[in-house]
């Protein structure tokens, strides 16, 4: 079962300076969440899990949200100098099943948030055969993200 267009919920830019990027996106009318530091343990094929902290903000209004990420050196979130979109994100109801489905369609698993069992939890990034980066995000975290978009604290 392929990903559904109706489940696409964000386009992400990885930027060297989150404050400057937020100012730029404010200029085109986007309301953005208060930035949040996210400590993440990232898994990657053939590498030990690694901890990173990224600074993140999302646009408040949807249905398609803009995600801005100030990445960390050596992480999967390296800024793209040409201003290109880093990845597109979809909600999925079964993260690991979605990863397996995409891999069966020649996508390559590049990185994921490490869960308690060492496997993917919450999100995973896969490289499409054409080079695009696809992020699948567990729909279980949707209520918390939507609350953050409304200005509530992210739990």
Q: What pLDDT is attached to residue 36?
A: 94
> How far is CA 126 from each of CA 29, 33, 91, 154, rounded to the nearest angstrom?
30, 26, 14, 26
Q: What pLDDT is attached to residue 71?
A: 86
- The count of domains in the chain is 1
Give the whole-angstrom CA distance, residue 52 versus residue 50.
Answer: 7
Give the whole-angstrom CA distance, residue 55 versus residue 1.
Answer: 33
Confidence of residue 151 (pLDDT cuts 50, 70, 90): confident
- Per the domain annotation, does 154 fall within a domain? no
- Per the domain annotation, does 33 fall within a domain? yes
Q: What's the mean pLDDT when you consider all of the chain?
A: 93
Model confidence at 1: pLDDT above 70:
no
- Per the domain annotation, does 155 fall within a domain? no
- Per the domain annotation, does 58 fall within a domain? yes
Domain that holds residue 42: 5-149
- Per the domain annotation, does 74 fall within a domain? yes
pTM: 0.92
Find the CATH number of the domain harbouring 24: 3.10.180.10
pLDDT in tens, 56-97: 999 999 899 999 999 888 999 988 777 789 999 999 999 999
């Amino acid at each position: 079962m392929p990903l559904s267009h109706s489940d696409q919920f964000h386009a992400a830019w990885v930027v060297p300076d989150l404050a400057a990027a937020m100012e730029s996106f404010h200029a085109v009318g986007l309301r953005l969440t208060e930035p949040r530091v996210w400590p993440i343990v990232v898994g990657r094929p053939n590498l030990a899990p690694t901890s990173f902290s990224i600074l993140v903000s999302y646009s408040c209004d949807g249905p398609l949200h803009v995600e801005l990420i100030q990445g960390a050196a050596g992480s999967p979130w390296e800024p793209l100098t040409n201003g290109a979109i880093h990845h597109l994100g979809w909600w999925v109801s079964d993260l690991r099943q979605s990863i397996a489905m995409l891999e069966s369609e020649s996508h390559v698993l590049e990185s994921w948030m490490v869960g308690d069992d060492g496997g993917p939890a919450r999100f995973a990034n896969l490289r499409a055969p054409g080079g695009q980066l696809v992020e699948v995000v567990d729909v279980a975290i949707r209520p918390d993200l939507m609350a953050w978009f409304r200005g509530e604290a992210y739990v």
